[in-house]
Chain A
Amino acid sequence: MEIKVTENSEIITISLEGEIDMQVTNELREALLENIDKNSKRIIVDFQNVDFIDSSGLAVLIEGLKISKNKDSGFELCDMKEQVKDVFNLAQLDKVFIIK
Chain B
Amino acid sequence: MGQNARIIQEKESKLEKLLSIISYIIGDIDLDTVLNNVLKNAEELMEAEASSFLLLNKNKDELHAFVATGNAGEQIKKQDGIKVGTGISGWVAQNVKSLLIKDAYQDTRFCSDYDKKTGFQTKSVVCVPLIVKGNLIGVGQIINKKNAAYFDDQDLNIFTKFCEIAALALDNALMHQKRIEQDRVQRDLELAEDIQRAFLPENLPVVKDLKIDYRYLASRYLAGDFLDISFLPNGNVSLIIADVSGKGISAALFGSRVSHEFSHLRKDLQNLEKIFKKLNNIVCKYSTKGMFVTAIGMELNPNTGDCQIVNAGHPRPIALTPISPKNMDVNELEQKSGPPLGIVEDAEYPINDFVLKENETMIFYTDGVSEAIMNDGSRFESKNIFEVLKKNQFYPLNGLLQKLNQQCSGKDQADDITVVSFCRIKFKQLDIKSDPAELSKVRHLIETIGNELNYTNKEINQINLAVTESIVNIIEHTYMFKKDKDIRVQINRNNFGLHIFIRDWGEKQDPKNFKSRDLKDVKPGGLGVFFISELMDIVNYDNSYTTGNGLHLIKLRE
Which chain A residues have a beta carbon within 8 Å of chain B's beta carbons? 19, 21-23, 52, 54-56, 58-60, 62-63, 82-83, 86-87, 90-93, 96
Question: Which of A54, A62, A92 meets B523, CB within 8 Å?
Answer: A62
B443 to chain A: which residues have CB within 8 Å? 19, 52
A54 with B524, Cβ < 8 A, contacts A21-B436, A21-B440, A22-B439 known: no
A90 to chain B: which residues have CB within 8 Å? 531, 534-535
Q: Is chain A's binding surface mostly helix, strand, loop or mixed?
A: helix
B550 to chain A: which residues have CB within 8 Å? none
A21 with B472, Cβ < 8 A, contacts A55-B531, A91-B527 known: yes
Contact across chains for A86 and B461 when beta carbons are under 8 A apart: yes
B527 to chain A: which residues have CB within 8 Å? 55, 58-59, 91
B458 to chain A: which residues have CB within 8 Å? 82-83, 86
CA distance A55 to B528 in the complex (A): 6
Known A54-B528, A58-B527, A90-B535; further 13 A-B contacts with Cβ < 8 A: A21-B436, A21-B468, A23-B436, A23-B437, A52-B465, A52-B468, A55-B531, A60-B524, A62-B523, A83-B457, A90-B531, A90-B534, A91-B527
Which residues 484-526 in B have Cβ within 8 Å of A in the complex? 519-520, 522-526
Q: How far is the CB of B474 from chain A (nearest CB, A)?
A: 11
Question: Which of B461, B464, B472 meets A56, CB within 8 Å?
Answer: B472
A91 with B530, Cβ < 8 A, contacts A22-B436, A52-B461, A86-B461 known: yes
A23 to chain B: which residues have CB within 8 Å? 436-437, 439-440
Contact across chains for A83 and B439 when beta carbons are under 8 A apart: no
CA distance A82 to B520 in the complex (A): 23
Nearest chain B residue, comparing its CB with the CB of A55? B527
Contact across chains for A19 and B440 when beta carbons are under 8 A apart: yes
A52 to chain B: which residues have CB within 8 Å? 443, 461, 464-465, 468
A54 with B468, Cβ < 8 A, contacts A83-B458, A86-B458, A91-B530 known: yes
Q: How far is the CB of A23 from chain B (nearest CB, A)?
A: 4
B522 to chain A: which residues have CB within 8 Å? 62, 93, 96
Contact across chains for B524 and A22 when beta carbons are under 8 A apart: no
Interface check B401, CB cutoff 8 A: no
B468 to chain A: which residues have CB within 8 Å? 21-22, 52, 54
Q: Is chain B's binding surface mostly helix, strand, loop or mixed?
A: helix
| Proximity bits, B437-472, A CB within 8 Å = 1, else 0 | 101100100000000000001100110110011001
Q: How far is the CB of B447 from chain A (nearest CB, A)?
A: 10
A22 with B472, Cβ < 8 A, contacts A62-B524, A90-B531, A96-B522 known: yes
Nearest chain A residue, comparing its CB with the CB of B524? A59
Which chain B residues have a beta carbon within 8 Å of chain A's beta carbons? 436-437, 439-440, 443, 457-458, 461-462, 464-465, 468-469, 472, 475, 519-520, 522-528, 530-531, 534-535
Nearest chain B residue, comparing its CB with the CB of A92? B519
Nearest chain B residue, comparing its CB with the CB of A62? B524
A58 to chain B: which residues have CB within 8 Å? 524, 527
A59 with B525, Cβ < 8 A, contacts A19-B443, A23-B439, A86-B458 known: yes
Nearest chain A residue, comparing its CB with the CB of B471? A22
Q: How far is the CB of B475 from chain A (nearest CB, A)?
A: 7
Q: How far is the CB of B436 from chain A (nearest CB, A)?
A: 4
A92 with B531, Cβ < 8 A, contacts A22-B439, A54-B465 known: no
Question: Which of A21, A22, A63, A83 meets B461, CB within 8 Å?
Answer: A83
Contact across chains for A22 and B525 when beta carbons are under 8 A apart: no
CA distance A59 to B525 in the complex (A): 5
Q: How far is the CB of B538 from chain A (nearest CB, A)?
A: 18
CA distance A58 to B468 in the complex (A): 13
CA distance A66 to B486 in the complex (A): 36
B523 to chain A: which residues have CB within 8 Å? 62
CA distance A60 to B527 in the complex (A): 12
Q: Which of B439, B457, B462, B534 has most chain A Cβ within 10 Å? A: B439
Q: How far is the CB of B523 from chain A (nearest CB, A)?
A: 7
B472 to chain A: which residues have CB within 8 Å? 21-22, 54-56
Contact across chains for B519 and A91 when beta carbons are under 8 A apart: yes
Nearest chain A residue, comparing its CB with the CB of B459? A83
B534 to chain A: which residues have CB within 8 Å? 90
Contact across chains for A55 and B461 when beta carbons are under 8 A apart: no
A59 to chain B: which residues have CB within 8 Å? 524-525, 527
Q: How far is the CB of A64 from chain B (nearest CB, A)?
A: 10
CA distance A56 to B439 in the complex (A): 13
CA distance A92 to B469 in the complex (A): 17
Q: Which of A55, A82, A92 has most chain B Cβ within 10 Å? A: A55
Nearest chain A residue, comparing its CB with the CB of B526? A55
CA distance A23 to B472 in the complex (A): 10
Question: Which of A22, A60, A87, A96 meets B465, CB within 8 Å?
Answer: A87
Nearest chain A residue, comparing its CB with the CB of B481? A22
Contact across chains for A92 and B520 when beta carbons are under 8 A apart: yes
23 A-B pairs within 8 Å (CB atoms) are namely A21-B439, A21-B440, A22-B475, A52-B464, A52-B465, A54-B469, A54-B472, A54-B531, A55-B472, A55-B525, A55-B527, A55-B528, A59-B525, A59-B527, A83-B457, A83-B461, A86-B462, A87-B531, A90-B535, A91-B519, A91-B527, A93-B522, A96-B522
A82 to chain B: which residues have CB within 8 Å? 457-458
